């Protein structure tokens, strides 16, 4: 009842511990009959193998680490939570476990982190979240140690990516393009844009999608484009800059939901009705997006699935399958809610 070991199972099934090990790990050498006997014994004893022992003697640790940085205040945290949920589910399905590690944004003591991950924990893989997934130092540290990395929405790419691990993302260009077109289809022409963090590839791709959809290579009224950093706070001044212009845009498309919410907030303070006098759109579909007033039109990305895929990739890879795409691109979808409407 308390703690069955592989020895107990072996005794009950009347085989050697090695055979039990083989059966439990799905290794080939084992007759169907033996297999059944072992399984039955394990079940009856309520046996669960010890992770530590497996990790110590074998080559797998059945551990995956999800590493994040940044604070709670940051709405991006929600994104992490959702990713994590997906990863946990994939882990559970594969007999793995998810460790959550955190590194302070300021600290760049990556070598200690890497050492812990590799030597102490011996994790089978690491899931890296922006901006960590773009830090060359951390990446190369991990790569040198032979750790499988999966990078969420990575920025650095090309040959480097091959070396630095797999990645998951959505087609940010298309997402922004489609959202801009949605606004245009509603009749908007003066569509303001708030940029994302300049160091993040997704930001540039989203902006490109917006520009191509709206101007199609034509002249670009730069006053419609304001800088932002993907945070709520950075969206505030950007929104103000856009809304205080003599000829106010009829719609504002922010590079993510956090900043779109900032637009909502500024519009509210300035007494501009949304979507009556201003349409607002974002990207990400944060949980909060459906809760704000009015509910935000945005682009949904399958964050949970992305987290699950990341974990699954590590699990499969450790198990021997060498799926080595450079990056997996997930489908996104437009979520039209109440913050957008045709201009008055």
Q: From the list 12, 15, 83, 176, which residue makes contact with DNA (rule: CB under 7 A)?
A: 15
Pairing between strand 298-300 and 333-335? antiparallel
Q: Which residue lies nearer to DNA by CB, 35 or 300?
A: 35
Q: Which residue lies nearer to DNA by CB, 16 or 107?
A: 16
Distance, in Å, from the CA atom of 279 to the CA atom of 184, rounded to the nearest integer, reads: 11
Q: From the list 1, 26, 59, 219, which residue makes contact with DNA (rule: CB under 7 A)?
A: 59
- Tell me how long the chain is: 344
Query: CB under 7 A: which stretch of 19-27, 105-113, 171-179, 221-229 binds DNA?
Result: 19-27
In whole angstroms, how close is the CB of 1 to a copy of itself at the nearest point?
Answer: 9
User: Mapping DSSP to helix (H, G, I), strand (E, B) and coil, where does residue 344 land?
Assistant: coil
User: Mapping DSSP to helix (H, G, I), strand (E, B) and coil, where does residue 256 land?
Assistant: coil
Task: Rounding to the nearest 10 degrees, give the CA dihedral for residues 300, 305, 309, 312.
Answer: 170
User: Mapping DSSP to helix (H, G, I), strand (E, B) and coil, where does residue 152 land?
Assistant: strand
Q: Does 28 bind DNA (CB under 7 A)?
A: yes
Q: Which does 101 bind (CB under 5 to 8 A by kind): a copy of itself, DNA, none?
A: a copy of itself
Q: Does 18 bind DNA (CB under 7 A)?
A: yes
Q: Does 190 bind a copy of itself (CB under 8 A)?
A: no
Q: From the list 1, 11, 12, 33, which residue makes contact with DNA (rule: CB under 7 A)?
A: 33
Distance, in Å, from the CA atom of 283 to the CA atom of 96, rounded to the nearest integer, reads: 32
Residues in the interface with a copy of itself (CB under 8 A) total 56
Alpha helix positions (H), the chain: 6-13, 17-24, 32-45, 51-57, 76-94, 110-115, 136-144, 159-164, 172-185, 201-215, 232-243, 257-270, 303-318
Q: Please return the burial class of 50, using the count of CB atoms within 10 Å of its CB with bins 0-12, 13-18 and 19+.
A: exposed
Q: Does 31 bind DNA (CB under 7 A)?
A: yes
In whole angstroms, how close is the CB of 133 to a copy of itself at the nearest point?
Answer: 19
Q: From the list 90, 292, 310, 314, which residue makes contact with a copy of itself (rule: CB under 8 A)?
A: 292
Q: From the list 187, 198, 221, 287, which residue makes contact with a copy of itself (rule: CB under 8 A)?
A: 287
Beta-bridged to residue 126, according to DSSP, are 65, 149
- Cβ 226 vs Cβ 242: under 8 Å: yes
Distance of CA 336 to the CA centre of its chain: 22
Q: Does 148 bind a copy of itself (CB under 8 A)?
A: no
Where on the chain is the footprint of DNA (CB under 7 A)? 3, 5-7, 14-19, 21-22, 24-25, 28-31, 33-34, 47, 49-50, 53-54, 56-60
Where on the chain is the footprint of a copy of itself (CB under 8 A)? 2-4, 46-53, 55-56, 61, 66, 72-73, 75, 77-78, 80-82, 84-85, 88-89, 92, 97-102, 115-116, 118-122, 145, 232, 258, 261-262, 264-265, 268, 287-288, 291-294, 304
């Amino acid at each position: 009842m308390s703690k069955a070991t592989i020895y107990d199972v072996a005794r009950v099934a009347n085989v050697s511990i090695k055979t039990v090990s083989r059966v439990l790990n799905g290794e080939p050498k084992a007759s169907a009959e033996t297999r059944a006997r072992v399984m039955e014994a394990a079940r009856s004893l309520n046996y669960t193998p010890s992770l530590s022992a497996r990790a110590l003697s074998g080559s797998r640790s059945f551990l995956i680490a999800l590493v994040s940085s940044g604070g709670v205040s940051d709405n991006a945290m929600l994104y992490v939570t959702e990713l994590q949920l997906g990863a946990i589910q994939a882990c559970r399905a594969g007999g793995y476990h998810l460790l959550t590690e955190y590194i302070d944004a300021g600290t760049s003591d990556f070598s200690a982190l890497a050492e812990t991950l590799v030597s102490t924990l011996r994790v089978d893989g690491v899931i890296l979240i922006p901006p960590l997934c773009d830090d060359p130092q951390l990446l190369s540290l991990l790569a040198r140690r032979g750790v499988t990395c999966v990078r969420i929405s990575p920025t650095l790419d090309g040959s480097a990516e091959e070396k630095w691990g797999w990645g998951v993302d959505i087609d940010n260009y298309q997402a922004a393009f489609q959202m801009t077109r949605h606004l245009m289809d509603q009749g908007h022409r003066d569509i303001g844009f708030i940029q994302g963090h300049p160091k993040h590839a997704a930001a540039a791709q989203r902006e490109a999608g917006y520009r191509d959809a709206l101007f199609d290579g034509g002249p670009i009224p730069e006053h419609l484009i304001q800088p932002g950093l993907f945070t709520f706070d950075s969206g505030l001044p950007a929104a103000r800059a856009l809304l205080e212009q003599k000829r106010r845009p009829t719609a504002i498309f922010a590079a993510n939901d956090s900043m779109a919410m900032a637009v909502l907030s500024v519009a509210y303070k300035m007494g501009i009705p949304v979507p009556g006098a201003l349409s607002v759109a974002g990207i990400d579909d944060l949980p909060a997006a459906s809760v704000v007033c009015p509910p935000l039109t945005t682009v949904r990305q399958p964050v949970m699935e992305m987290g699950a895929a990341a974990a699954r990739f590590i699990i499969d890879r450790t198990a021997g399958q060498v799926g080595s795409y450079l990056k997996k691109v997930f489908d996104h979808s437009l979520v039209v809610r109440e913050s957008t409407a045709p201009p008055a």
